[in-house]
Amino acid sequence: MIFKSLLVLGSIHPFAHVDIDQSPYLADLHDQIQVCDDILANMETLLGGFQSNLGSIGSEIQVLQEKSLSLSTKLRNRKVFQAELGNFLDELVIPPELVSKICDSEVDETYTQYLDALNRKITFLSDKTSQNIPSVNSVAPELERLKNKVIFFFRGFICSGFCSNLLVPLGHREGQGLCP
């Protein structure tokens, strides 16, 4: 068979002349080339599988990148929401210290700071009351009671100051220059 293939080879290519003594070496070389071809075919199959695996890994990486982007957007949105919710709750909550300071403190410079804080909360809640938010609606009556308590306190404070001047005996008013 090898001899036939050598003859065919000689007829195909004019420069192909083979020494018959070299034919066992050529047959061995042919077998080695065949083995190399088989190895290369196996390598080609392995590399093709590796390439398809790389392609699927690439698509998985792309999916993971998209998920990562989505998660980072969700995290950023949560942080913004958390900050806004924190500000909302700070304005919504009436601390017990504020209530006790307004109800029990003397009227002085620091008392005006408590009144400013109460006024900010009243303004905040009046802006939000129209939105029908349940938490605002639950705090609004308490805030209204505190506001009425402050109004009642100041009404009494002003009346006591006014009445104390009215109740000063007439002789003392003249000495103080209150009456002509």
Q: Which of 59, 64, 126 is nearest to 92 (CA)?
A: 126
Q: What is the dihedral of CA 119, 124, 129, 132, to 10 degrees?
A: -150
Residue type, 6: L
Confidence label for 178 from pLDDT (cuts 50, 70 and 90): very low
Query: Per-residue pLDDT tens for 5-20?
Result: 545 544 555 545 556 6
Confidence label for 141 from pLDDT (cuts 50, 70 and 90): confident
Q: Which of 168, 142, 147, 150 is nearest to 107 (CA)?
A: 150
Predicted confidence at residue 76, as pLDDT, reads 97
Query: Per-residue pLDDT tens for 85-116?
Result: 998 888 888 888 988 888 888 878 888 898 89
Query: Per-residue pLDDT tens for 27-79?
Result: 899 999 999 999 999 999 999 999 989 889 989 999 999 999 999 999 999 99
- In angstroms, rounded to a whole number, what is the distance separating the alpha carbons of residues 8 and 5? 5
Q: Where are the domains of the chain?
A: 2-64, 93-175
The mean per-residue pLDDT over the stretch 117-139 comes to: 81
- In angstroms, rounded to a whole number, what is the distance separating the alpha carbons of residues 15 and 9? 10
CA atoms within 13 A on the CB side of 7: 4
Q: Provide the mean pLDDT of the chain.
A: 80
